[in-house]
Amino acid sequence: MNAMSPPSGPILRFYRLYPDTRPPERADRAAGGSMPIRAFRYCEAMTTASAFGWYVFSPMDFSLMWDGADIWWHCALLDDWALLTSAQLPDMSSLFDACAPRGLTGCSPPFLTALSEPGTVQIWSGVAVRSAPGWSLHVRAPANLPMPGGFVPYEGIVETDRWFGPLFTNIRLTRTGTAVTFRADMPLMQVQALPRSILSEIAQNNVPPPGDIEALGPAEWRDLAESLNPAQLPGRYATAVRKRARGACPFGEG
């Protein structure tokens, strides 16, 4: 089997360790309905990026606030803001201990953890994930989906075929004295399965230096002329990609 081909079985398998967590969902070409209609109709590059992967959600609604030194958090179960060091999901500890084998009791993953870097918080999705052999998981912000202000997410790539653990994301708060709210019905992150072969140093460095305009050959000039032709109708790239997709076989080019 080609290293770039999908495996015969599932690429990913999600496990909901916290039962109230919304199940992960395939990402949406329309970015949850927020994409401009013209982009959805004509910009195949944008819709393809939006649909690449799966949405993962927060297990509950909550808010964070940073005062420049400490991080505070709040949810519907709290009467007031609480200083965040590490916080568990409701009933998660007892649920985990009831199901975990001997030796893992007391090891329930925390929901929120204030990290040592200023304004930085680790958020657990309530989910764990395992990928197929040779596949890693890219964890990132939802593609083309507007996010609430006041924080920036970090991205990471995890070898989830070799490392099985809580699926979390790290965020950095960027405002002080203002609450940032995270909703359970909005994607917290987008995860994308990647064949690990493309992440190797050999693959990443196998790119020659860029050529100048004089390096364009007849094929490049022909394709460039087609792309820049003002007589072409809008969305011609989207039309071509969709036609190829309709005629493609599942694991290769049609």
Say what the pLDDT of residue 250 is: 46
Residue 4, pLDDT score: 61
Categorize the per-residue pLDDT at 42 as very low, low, confident or very high, splitting at 50, 70 and 90. confident
- Is residue 204 predicted with pLDDT exceeding 50? yes
Check residue 15 and give its pLDDT: 97
Domain boundaries, the chain: 12-203
Work out the number of other CB atoms within 10 angstroms of the CB of residue 127. Answer: 22
User: DSSP string spanning 191-220?
Assistant: EEEEEGGGGSHHHHH--PPPP-GGG--HHH
pLDDT at position 147 is 85
Sequence-ordered list of residues with C-beta below 8 angstroms from that of 250, at least 6 positions apart, any chain: 6
pLDDT at res. 253? 37
Q: How far apart, in whole angstroms, are the C-alpha atoms of residue 253 and residue 130?
A: 27
Q: Residue 237 carries which side chain, given as an amino acid letter?
A: Y
Q: Which two tokens stand for residue 182?
A: 């995270």
- Measured CA to CA, the distance from residue 62 to residue 76 in angstroms comes to 8
Condensed to tens digits (0 to 9), the pLDDT of residues 121-177 reads 999 999 999 999 999 999 999 999 988 889 999 999 999 999 999 999 999 999 999
Q: Supply the pLDDT for residue 243.
A: 73
pLDDT, mean of residues 23-41: 91
> 207-244: per-residue pLDDT in tens?
989 999 999 999 999 988 888 887 776 666 666 777 77
12-203 topology per CATH: Deoxyuridine 5'-Triphosphate Nucleotidohydrolase; Chain A (2.70.40)
